[in-house]
Amino acid sequence: MKNSTETVFEFSATLLDGSMIGLDQFHGQVLLIVNTASKCGFTPQYAALELLYRTYKDRGFAVLGFPCNQFGAQESGSEAEIGAFCEKNFGVSFPLFAKIEVNGPQAHPLFRFLKNAKRGLLGSGSIKWNFTKFLVGRQGNVVGRYAPATKPEALATAIESLLDCPDGFSRPPSSPV
């Protein structure tokens, strides 16, 4: 991490179609950033993530999905296969990014930042499994980290509180993971 003023908006990432985007294009929005996988016991959460996205996107909310193959090789497909799977099975319309690593020396810089901003259970810096969720306020500050078992719909109140807060700095309760 460069310094304490760093936000998620200072990072860029590659979408499934291979185009690079700066996360600054989401400035002013509340974000739920999730490491995902297509062959995981938590994969059905895609449906609930999509419902959250459709429910709140017009109020300034986005879900950002980052497929990862680091946990049980549960995301072994190509970017095209990942996109087709998510569209066909869950109607995913929120942004999905190219496959990344979230732990280890090749971890994407965004996930290094997220893990440092909100540590897991007992101060752990690593992500333990697919579908770990990070809630980000309108100014790019990480305000919550949620375990894979936390159902996306359980975050609705926290998301609404951030959407209702003009500066995006309200502090919803977070569950350590």
Q: What is the CATH number of the domain that holds 77?
A: 3.40.30.10
Lowest mean pLDDT among 15-24, 85-94, 152-161: 85-94
Nearest-angstrom CA–CA distance, 106 and 118: 19
How do residues 58-89 score in pLDDT, each as one tens digit? 999 999 999 998 988 788 888 888 888 888 88
Query: Would you call 156 helix, strand, or coil by DSSP?
Result: helix
**Active-site residue among 40, 68, 86, 165?**
40
103 is a domain residue: yes
Pairing of strands 30-36, 61-67: parallel
Average pLDDT along the chain: 87
Determine the structural domain holding residue 62 and report its residue range: 11-163
Q: Is the pLDDT of residue 124 over 70?
A: no
Q: Is 40 a catalytic residue?
A: yes
Lowest mean pLDDT among 73-82, 90-99, 107-116, 151-160: 73-82
Amino acid 166: pLDDT: 64
Q: Which residue has the higher pLDDT, 118 or 58?
A: 58
Confidence class of residue 41 from pLDDT cuts 50, 70 and 90? Answer: confident
Report the side by side order of strands in the sheet with 30-36.
Answer: 61-67, 30-36, 133-136, 142-146
71 is a domain residue: yes
Amino acid 52: pLDDT: 96
Amino acid 117: pLDDT: 87
Average pLDDT over residues 40-44: 82
Nearest-angstrom CA–CA distance, 49 and 121: 23
Percent of the chain topping pLDDT 70: 88
Give the count of domains, the chain.
Answer: 1
168 is a domain residue: no
Average pLDDT over residues 52-58: 96
Amino acid 169: pLDDT: 55
30 is a domain residue: yes
96 is a domain residue: yes
